[in-house]
Amino acid sequence: MSLFEREFRDCLGRFPTGVALITVMDGGSARAMTINSFSSVSLDPPLILWSLAKDSHRYDRFLNAQDFAVNILAADQAELSTACARSDDLEANGGRWTPASNGAPLVEDAIARFECRRHQVFAGGDHEIILGEVLNVDRPRDAEALVFVRSGYSKI
pLDDT (0 to 100) of residue 156: 76
Residues 88-106 pLDDT 10s: 999 999 999 999 999 999 9
d(CA 69, CA 51): 14
For 106-149, what is each residue's pLDDT tens digit? 999 999 999 999 999 999 999 999 999 999 999 999 999 999 99
Q: Of 123, 131, 8, which is closest to residue 68 (Cα–Cα)?
A: 131
H or E stretch at 32: strand 29-35
The Cα angle at residue 105 between residues 26 and 137, in degrees rounded to 5: 135
Q: Which residues contact 1 (CB under 8 A, 6 or more apart)?
A: 9
CB 126 within 8 A of CB 132: no
Ordered by where they begin, the domains of the chain are 3-147 (2.30.110.10)
Query: To the nearest whole number, what is the mean pLDDT of the chain?
Result: 96
Q: Residues 119, 16, 146, CA angle at the centre, nearest 5°?
A: 80
For residue range 111-123, list pLDDT tens digits in order.
999 999 999 999 9
Q: What phi and psi values does residue 124 have, to the nearest 5 degrees?
A: -140, 70
Would you state the pLDDT for residue 121? Answer: 98
Q: What is the pTM of this model?
A: 0.95
